[in-house]
Every structure is written in structure tokens, then in C-alpha cells.
Structure 1
Amino acid sequence: MTENNTNSSGDETPERVVGTPADEKPVVTGAAVSEEGHAGPYPASETHFNTEEGQRRGEKVASVWFILAFLGGMGFLVSYFVFTPGDIADPQLGQYSNALLGGTLTLALFGIGAGMTVWARKVMPHYEVSSPYDELPSSDKEKGSFGDFFMQGADESGFTKRPLMRRTLILAMVPLGLAPIVLLRDTGPLPGDKLKQTPWENGRRMYVEGTHRHVRAEDLENDPYGMISALPAVDDDHYPHGISLNDAAKSVILLIKMPAEDWKSSMEEDIEVEGEVASRLNWTHNGIIAYSKICTHVGCPAALYERTTHRILCPCHQSTFDASDAAKVVFGPAHRPLPQLPIGVDDEGYLIARGDFTEPPGPTFWDYAKD
């Protein structure tokens, strides 16, 4: 276990093996295997339960798992690029995309885990070292021998001795290493000025989200604390009113009805929409006000409304906005109010937009500065 050496005073002292106590002899358990080609700090007969044949068989099994992991990782990358964002939005293709992405990534991770398990159980050494707590600082001699000890450990683990297993493990890790890089495709490009214009325009009707029905002012008149989620009706001949998924994501609004006495003084502030300046109350209709439903924090739908306090809550990170106070932030990580949509009614009593949002909707970190 240890090798005697003569120190400067001429006394013979045992050389301490890194990872073992200085004064205690380590307890080592194992089964007999071939010593050929073994260079670890302990004899192979004391470190391996498996025979040389068993280790080779374990190497092959682990390599098979690593190859399956590589195929799974490559399948994940291929699936990611085969399906476009438009395909993912499709109900049927989206299911296939999710199944392939999830299945191939599961195979890749499971294959690596299974291969490492076989490696540890069938190839790596099995010995136990037990000792009382020792002094933490190491001597200069022990520090200098760490490199040799590390290489001995690598030899025992089979990483240097088993090239098939080593190469297939590296091969399996390559696709997983590339996965985070290709996923960066989903982080851009920045929207630029795309959010400065939405389908809302003067005279545009709106419909209740998830239905074919246009919104009338009387739909909220009967409830002094009502709330409706709505979208612009771009084309009445096509469901849902001809609006695309991207347009719906940035133009969805909350229509909120509240008593006139609940409005706060900030609602009398002047705002400008399409060159026209008026107070915020002028952009409401009979106590009905419209705000963007998209939270200005990271873009989650701020879809919860507390009637008694007129608070709009985003369930993702608890950003809270006061609907009676120009949707100003009263709690949470959001840094700016929800944009307001000027509204009115047409000759048939349907609610319509009087222009676009007072400022671009969406997360604050996007570039929404006005020209």
C-alpha cells in the first residue's frame, strides 16, 4: 500500500498516498483480476470486483449507451431545425415537434447516464478508504505528488485504458455541447420598431378573445366592474377575424369597466395618439378603458383582474398594475405601465379603437423608444 522512503535525517518514513490518512492504513476491499497493464496506487487484485473479461464487456455496454446518446443528441438538433416556429404553432405539427424534441433529448441524457453507470459498476475500481479526520494542510511533498496520483486515478478508472469507451463518451457529449449554442437562435432578432405598430387603428372593431363575437359597449354596461379580453377584428370573413398569431400576441387587450368616482387624478393627464392630444379619460367610453394585456416585464399575459381594488395582476412574476391610475405599476418587477388603447363606439354600438396604443406594448427590455 505504501512505499518506504528515507528522509533527510536518515529515518525511514512511509510516503503518504494522497487521499489517505497519514498515520492510518487504508482499508481496501476487492476481488482478484489481472495485474497486466495496471499502474494504480493499489494492486488490481485489490481494486476491481470484475475480471478483465468483465471489464471489457462493461466497456462495450457503456460504449453502446454512449452511441445511443450521440444519436439522441443529433436527433434533437435535427428536430429543432426541421420544425419552424410556424410549425410549432400548428396543433398537429406542434405535437410532433414536442414529442421529437423531448424524446431525443431524453434518449441523449438517459444514454449518457446509463453509460456512466455501467462504467462505474463494471469498469472503475472498487475500494473503500476509511480513516479519522486528518489535518487539512498538505505538505509540499504531497502537493507535488498530486499530478502522479491524478494520473493513477485516471488509469484505475479506465478512462485512459479503455479507448472505445472514452471516444464514444466524447462523441455522445458533442451534440449536447452544441445544443445551447443552436438554441441561441430563439433569442433574436430584437423586434426593433415592429412593436410600434399593431393591427389597431381608428375604426377597428374588436371581438371577444376565443369567440366570433364583436364587443358592444353594452356587454360591459350591465356590470360596473366587468372585464373582457379582446382582439382586433382584421377580417370578419376568416376565423379568428383574420388576425395572425404574431399580431394577436402583441395586440390583445383588457377591456375594463369601472365607476367614474374610482378614477384617479392621473387619468386627466394629456396623452397623444396619432397627432391628437387629449386626457386619458377622453380615450375611454362610459367608464370602459382598454389596456394592453401584455405585461411590460417579460411579456406574460396580465390576465387577472381584482375588481374591488382595480388591480391587474400578472401571474408569472406578480407585477401589479392599477387600472384606475393609468395602469401604473404598484408592485413587482415591471418598470412601466401597461400601454392604453384609445377606444370609442361606432354607429352600431360596437366598441372600436380610435388609434393604436399610446406606446409600444411588450417587455421593457425591448427597444420601444419613440422616434
Structure 2
Amino acid sequence: MAHEVDALEHERPSWKPSPGLTVAVIDPVQPPELPPHRERATDKDPAVMKRAVRTVYTLFYLSVAASIWAVAAYMIFPIESGRIVDIRSNNLFIGLGIGTALLALGLGAIHWSKAVMSDKEYIEPRHATRGKDSTREAAVAVFEIADKESGFGRRVMIRNSLFAALAASIIPGVTLFRGLAPQNTAANPIAGQPVPLLSQTMWTEGAYLTHDPSGERIRAADVTLGSAVHVIPEELASLTHEEGYLEEKAKAIVLLMRLLPEDLNEAPEKADWSYQGIVAYSKVCTHVGCPVALYEQQTHHLLCPCHQSQFDVANGAAVIFGPAARPLPQLPITIDADGYLVAKSDFLEPVGPSFWERH
């Protein structure tokens, strides 16, 4: 076989151009010609350049002012007041302040790069990159050239206004963190202590279970098999937003379900916490506090839509899937003389995320 291949190679004619024939050699990797450079107005007229520089640092200082306004709005419209007008104004004006600050910062940076920085066009040839001293020196030279072309080192107003805008843009976000750590006051001595705060809700002995949000009392006979009812304590329905309606509802909201009594596997110490298959569990997920509201009638599973934790209602709302660390707290219930559902006591453990219980 090797001899046959050699023979074919010898017999294959080699191509040669005919006498007088011109052969053109084309370089396929030749870079295209750059279009003629067109000078900007700022390159031609110093007055236009000065105006562009003023525009840039004005936008940066506008960003500073907007960041300061966002902090002022946080104080002028305190969300802790609970009033709807303050909550809406707080969200509106803080959002406008932060949005304007970031928009002005971005516009200033874009205008700086397009109108003020050097506009020279060049082709950078490819070369091998190695971590040698010469490479480091070249990197320093690049930074020096960039500083010279951008004018960062000599345009003091632009540089200082940029630094001020960047620093100020962080302040509104830092300020908003204050709302996550309420301080203890004489009126609310446990504001900074989450465990006792979440251990006390508006559920008390004899408190009626009512529909959310109407406040209509719930008769045990009206709770159908397989149903899931959103419940609040009767006293909560009469609260106004100024009196802390949202804060109390966030802790006290309950999901009421009815199963066949034989489907319930109740711990001996909780055997009298339900009534004829009707059970009540906190609606606040024990992972990060999302509302658990999706009930699967056939499997008796409760699903938290935020991070997919699942709880088995038939087995004490035990966690069967997801990141939740403990079962949902159960509200002990019974009925009054007229057959209406009432609470036997408050929750006997803190509601909400498990991390609040860490010391």
C-alpha cells in the first residue's frame, strides 16, 4: 500500500502558472482602513469644552444633592409612623432621590467620556502578555496615558465632584438600614428584642377567629372539609394603620384548615389544640417570614412560594421540604357556646423566621 501511494504522488502533476500569467496574492487579515477622524465640537472650541466640563461636574453635584434628598425624605416622612400618607411619600421621595442620584451619576460619566476625554482612535497590536517587569512598567505607562487623556489628574472639579457623587450615592442605602433595627423606647421597650417581640401577638384566650380582612366571626360548622381560610383575631380588624394594624397583622395572621379527624396525627400534649379536625397554624414561614398560603387539599401540604418550604398539616405542620428550620407554630383553638371558633391562648412559641431565636 505504501508503494502504491508513493507511485500516485509521483504521477500527480504539479501546477505551475503559464508563462505571462499574473497571479494576485491577497492578504485576508489586512485590517480595514479607518474612516477619517472627525473632530468634536469640544476639540475645536475651548468655550464648548469648558461648557462640557461644567455640565459633567454639575451632573455629579446633582447626584450628591439627590442622595442627600433621599436621606432627608427618610426623615421627613417617617415610615415608622404607620400612616399611609407617610408610607407612600417615603417610598416615592426616597425612590426619586436614589433614582435621580444614580441617573445623574451615569449621565455625567457618559458625557465625560464622550465630550471631554481624549478622542484619539488607534489600533493596538496584539502581543504576548507575560508577568515580567517590563509588563508591569508598561501597565503603569498605560495608566499614566489614561490619566493624561481623561484629564482625571488635572480636571479637579470633575474629579472631586465624581468622588463626592460616588460617596453620597451610598449614604441613602446605609440610612435605610436604620429601619431594620428599631430602638427600644419607653412606649415600646422590646422593640430591639425580636424574640419577645415575636412571642407576643394579639391572640388571647377567648379571642374570636375572624375572616381576613372583613373581621367576620367564623363558625366551626361553616368550615368545610379541605378548605383553607385566612384568619385574623377579631380585635385586629378594628385597628387602624396608625395604631399598628400592619405590624400586628404580620405576626398574628393564621391559616385555618379542616381535615378528617382520623387524618390528624397530633402530639399528646396538643391533642386538644384542634376542634373536630379544624387546625390553625401561623401563616408566617419559619424560614424568612414569607406568607405560607398555598394549600394542597389532597396531600395536606402547605407550600411557601418564596423558597419552596413545605409543611405537613396532618403531622403538626412539620417541615418536609425546603430551607425552613422548624414547624409552623400552632394556635390552640376551641369553640364558644354559640359554636364560633375562639383561641385558647396565644402561640406558645415565637412566630416567624427561626433566626430570630438565635442569641
TM-score band w.r.t. shorter chain: 0.7 to 0.9
1:324 aligns with 2:314: yes
**By how many angstroms is 1:349 displaced?**
1.4
1:214 aligns with 2:217: yes
Aligned to 2:61: 67
TM-score, normalized by length of structure 2?
0.80
User: What stretches of structure 1 of length at least 5 have no aligned partner?
Assistant: 1-23, 34-47, 271-277
Aligned to 1:227: 228
Determine which structure has more spread, i.e. the larger CA radius of gyration.
Answer: 2
Aligned to 1:162: 155
Identity %: 32
**By how many angstroms is 1:335 displaced?**
1.0
Q: Please, what is the CA RMSD of the aligned residues? A: 2.7
Where in structure 2 are the equivalents of 1:99-248 lying within 5 Å?
Answer: 99-137=92-130, 139-188=132-181, 189-220=192-223, 223-234=224-235, 244-248=245-249
Q: What is the DSSP-based 3-state SS (H/G/I as helix, E as strand, rest coil) of the residue aligned with 1:316?
A: coil
C-alpha separation between the residues in 1 aligned to 2:357 and 2:210? 29
CA deviation vs aligned residue, 1:241-298 (integer Å, no higher than 9, x gap): x87322211111111001123223xx1x23xxxxxxx3x2321001100100000000
Contact 1:225 1:256 in 2 (8 A): yes
Aligned to 1:286: 276
Q: 2:354 aligns with which of 344, 361, 364?
A: 364
More helix by share: 2
C-alpha separation between the residues in 2 aligned to 1:298 and 1:178? 26
Contact 1:301 1:314 in 2 (8 A): yes
Aligned length: 316
CA deviation vs aligned residue, 1:104-162 (integer Å, no higher than 9, x gap): 11110110111111100111112333345321215423423433431231121011221
| C-alpha distance 287-69 of structure 1, shift in aligned 2 (>3 A) | same
Contact 1:195 1:250 in 2 (8 A): yes
Contact 2:239 2:245 in 1 (8 A): no
C-alpha separation between the residues in 2 aligned to 1:314 and 1:168? 47
| C-alpha distance 28-137 of structure 1, shift in aligned 2 (>3 A) | farther
Aligned to 1:257: 258
Aligned to 1:91: 84
User: What stretches of structure 2 of length at least 5 have no aligned partner?
Assistant: 1-30, 182-191
Q: What is the DSSP-based 3-state SS (H/G/I as helix, E as strand, rest coil) of the residue aligned with 1:137?
A: coil
Structure 1 segments, 4+ long, off by >6 Å, are: none
C-alpha separation between the residues in 2 aligned to 1:62 and 1:229? 55
